[in-house]
A and B are shown apart, each in its own frame.
Chain A
Amino acid sequence: MTQTATPQSGGGDVRLQGISKTYGSFTAVHPLDLTIPAASFFALLGASGCGKTTTLRMIAGLEDPTTGTVALGGQDVTALPPYKRHVNTVFQSYALFPHLDIFENVAFGLRRRGVKSVKKQVEEMLDLVQLGPMARRRPQQLSGGQQQRVAVARALINKPQVLLLDEPLGALDLKLRRQMQLELKRIQTEVGITFVHVTHDQEEAMTMADTVAVMNGGRVEQLGAPADLYENPATTFVANFLGTSNLIEAEVTGMGGEHLLLTAGGTTLRLPTRRCGAAPAARTGGKVLAGVRPEKMALIHADRADAVPEGHNRLPGRIKDASFIGVSTQYVIDAHALGELAVYEQNIERDGRLVPGAEVVLHWNPAHTFGLDAAQSPLAGTDLDEEAA
């Protein structure tokens, strides 16, 4: 057996250039340029069918790109079959070999590369994923969480340049999933290998990844650090898919210092000029979508409207629905001409009058407003993530 894939210490970077994939007339991935820095934890986030898994499979070599190139650690691997790429995958269904025990499953990659003494390495790896005593069991005798850890061990033992994870936590229940997220993050920090993680769960992506690429319809909508994506979404899809956003259609009526003055439903709102990067029509007379996250808005009963801090944006409305979820209360506010808005209030000092039917004033610091291009649908990305909820 030739040593086509030599183990290297640390991770390698992944460079995708103009990579695309079409099946007949269907384009799964539009030409895409992506650089994943070495030793980073990178997440491809999107709803099912957005092309994230296809992108991952092209990196693994399981799918041939229609156009473009894949480079790993500076080496073009586009033409190499999977068994010649120093990349390992944790499959969605784990794909453990049912005829081999846990030890042999983990040793599989080492044996194929002609490593003679595998015992010590396999035992160390099984200890890392806390499955030492299970070495002689068969995969079907293990629980879902244990199988998942075997799948990670089987891939990691080869010390790949890049570890690809294809929705590896999808089959686990919520509690185990949280635990495995932290576990994977710990392992990644420990071994320093580049992780590329595909998921439809925005919380999972934000918890684990250094960088998240949000994909939609075969394209990367936005790429950045989780907090940056959340605070500064560039499209309505990102604003709605990553958490929840209130998007208010407004007209730009003028400039006021560092703010744009907007009119929405007869009310004047202020939007910081520096947060209008994603709204090309943000000039007087143009239209923008003013976005605010629900947790950044506050509610106050209409009787106490004068207690709203000076300089805050304010909107009148009526409470349509309130659901108490422990840490916070989630309100749906009927903001008259502006439609329905969501507000999350922390349960610290609750005003007993804030019940459905009550007239209220919504207010928030203008600095928390972001501007988006009004040419897109304000509903993009809202109905896609019921799985991820």
Chain B
Amino acid sequence: MSTTEAPAPAPEEAAPLPVRRPPARKRLVPYWLLLPGILWLVVFFAAPLVYQASTSLQTGSLEDGFKVTWHFATYWDAFGTYWPQFVRSVLYAATATVLCLLLGYPLAYLIAFKAGRWRNLVMILVIAPFFTSFLIRTLAWKTILADGGAVVGLLNSLHVLDVTSWLGLTEGHRVLATPLAVVCGLTYNFLPFMVLPLYTSLERIDPRLHEAAGDLYARPATTFRRVTFPLSMPGVVAGTLLTFIPAAGDYINAELLGSTDQKMIGNVIQSQFLRVLDYPTAAALSFILMAAILAMVTVYIRKSGTEDLV
């Protein structure tokens, strides 16, 4: 090898190529363009975050004022008291996410591959709920699931509620103020957040890949399992995250559709901030929730192994 190689020129001989740098004004353009975004983040994200972090380490009362005393024990106390609500939040949010995936995937698949000229109409129907307030929609569910309502009547006559009661999802012959109602509310409210990323990733799949799989002896079910689903993983991951994260922190559904037994961590934080006025505990709970979600999401993304697909 060394015999065929031409002798490398001594480094001193190699004159450095003159690098023409663009003028300073031009080089700064990207930073100027970033500035509004950075300002926004500082004012509406970084500053509140720092402020809440300091609040979580304060002690005192509303009358005497709060002081930063680096009181980390607030974290342990808050978690010690409210861990059932944490567990419940994760359970409800995870159940709602799975339900959203089961409902949303066929829907997104249908829109992406089968809807044809109806595609835009169905997409509008998926987005239509956003034209009404989140609160109003959830209140509507309160009416739909009301004790004397048609839905409860139907479920009762079909003995569905006996089964769900036996499973511990409902109590007696009502749906409101049960875990079922809260999970249904979460599923309903966050379904579009699942459907949209799923649709985007399914729509990007070249239909010829389906043909190629069929041509290579894969039945439709195998084609789905080996080709369509793996290729839609970016959408599955994005959709589950967009559903799980807000659902885990949600308090409206538990507030309107549940009772005290269905309180989620969002309800606790909300009442600590606005009713009990125990700001340090509320801030500490917020940080615990944030850290927990971050940890779960990190593990999830690692496990689903889609980094090279996204």
Contacts and interface: CB of A to CB of B under 8 A. Distances in A.
A62 B211 contact: yes
Q: Which 4 A-B pairs have the closest CB atoms?
A: A109-B216, A95-B212, A112-B217, A82-B214
Interface string A106-118: 0011001100000
B270 interface: no
B215 interface: yes
A91 B217 contact: no
A88 B211 contact: no
B209 A97 contact: yes
Nearest to A96: B212
Contacts of B216: 83, 88, 108-109, 112, 154-155, 158
Nearest to B229: A99
Query: Which of B212, B222, B227 counts the most A-chain CB atoms under 10 A from its CB?
Result: B212
B309 interface: yes
A277 B224 CA distance: 55
Nearest to B308: A138
Interface in B203-222: 206, 208-209, 211-219, 222
B169 interface: no
A60 interface: yes
B230 interface: yes
Nearest to A63: B211
A5 interface: yes
Interface in B184-199: none
19 contacts: A5-B217, A61-B214, A82-B211, A83-B214, A83-B217, A83-B218, A88-B215, A91-B208, A91-B211, A97-B209, A97-B213, A108-B218, A108-B226, A109-B216, A112-B216, A112-B218, A154-B216, A158-B216, A158-B217
A131 B100 CA distance: 43
A97 B215 contact: no
Contacts of A243: none
Contacts of B218: 83, 108, 112
B293 interface: no
Contacts of A113: 217
B224 to A, nearest CB: 13
Contacts of A98: 231
B212 A91 contact: yes
B106 to A, nearest CB: 21
Nearest to A108: B216
Size band of the interface chain A makes with B:
20 to 34
A81 interface: yes
Contacts, number: 59
A39 interface: no
Contact of B215 (A4, A62, A99): A62
Contacts of A108: 213, 216, 218, 226
A89 B217 contact: no
B212 to A, nearest CB: 4
Nearest to B218: A112
A88 B214 CA distance: 10
Interface in A88-138: 88-89, 91, 93, 95-99, 108-109, 112-113
Given A83-B216, A112-B217, 19 more contacts: A60-B215, A62-B214, A81-B214, A82-B214, A82-B215, A83-B214, A83-B217, A87-B215, A89-B215, A91-B208, A91-B212, A93-B206, A95-B212, A99-B227, A108-B218, A109-B216, A109-B217, A112-B216, A154-B216
Contacts of B309: 99
Contact of A95 (B206, B222, B231): B206
Interface of B: 206, 208-209, 211-219, 222, 226-227, 230-231, 309
A109 B208 CA distance: 16
A178 B122 CA distance: 48
A206 B309 CA distance: 42
Query: Which of A61, A81, A96, A109 counts the most B-chain CB atoms under 10 A from its CB?
Result: A109
Nearest to B223: A83
Contacts of A158: 216-217
Nearest to A86: B217
Contacts of B226: 108
Contacts of B213: 97, 108
Contacts of B208: 91, 93, 95
A113 B213 CA distance: 12
A93 B208 CA distance: 9
Nearest to B309: A99
Interface string A42-77: 000000000000000000111000000000000000
Interface in A253-269: none
A91 B210 CA distance: 12
Nearest to B219: A83
A99 B227 CA distance: 8
Nearest to A151: B212
B210 to A, nearest CB: 9
Query: Which of B209, B217, B231 counts the most A-chain CB atoms under 10 A from its CB?
Result: B217
Contacts of B215: 60, 62, 82-83, 87-89, 155
A33 B213 CA distance: 29
B192 to A, nearest CB: 26
A87 B211 CA distance: 13
Contacts of B230: 99
B9 to A, nearest CB: 32
Contacts of A109: 216-217
B234 to A, nearest CB: 10
Contacts of A5: 217
A154 B213 CA distance: 11
A108 B217 CA distance: 9
Contacts of A91: 208, 211-212
Contacts of B231: 98-99
